[in-house]
Amino acid sequence: MKKLNFSELNWINSPENFSITENELVIHTSPDTDFWRGTYYGLEYNNAPGIVMRSEERFWTLK
Taken as a whole, the chain contains a residue count of 63
State mean pLDDT over 15-42: 88
In a domain, 17, yes or no: yes
Task: Answer left, alpha or beta for residue 38, where phi above 0 means left and psi between -120 and 50 means alpha.
Answer: left
- Does 44 fall in a domain? yes
Residue 61 has pLDDT above 80, yes or no: no
Q: Does 33 reside within a domain?
A: yes
Sequence-distant (6+) residues with CB within 8 A of 3 are none
- Would you say residue 48 lies in a domain? yes
Range of the domain at 23: 6-52
Mean pLDDT estimate for the chain? 85
Do the domain assignments include residue 58? no
Is position 25 within any domain? yes
Buried residues in 6-26 as b, exposed as e (16+ CB within 10 A): eeeeeeeeebeeeeeeeeeee
The larger pLDDT score, comparing residue 6 to residue 21, is at 21
Give the C-alpha separation, 5 to 53, whole Å: 10
Q: How many domains does the chain have?
A: 1
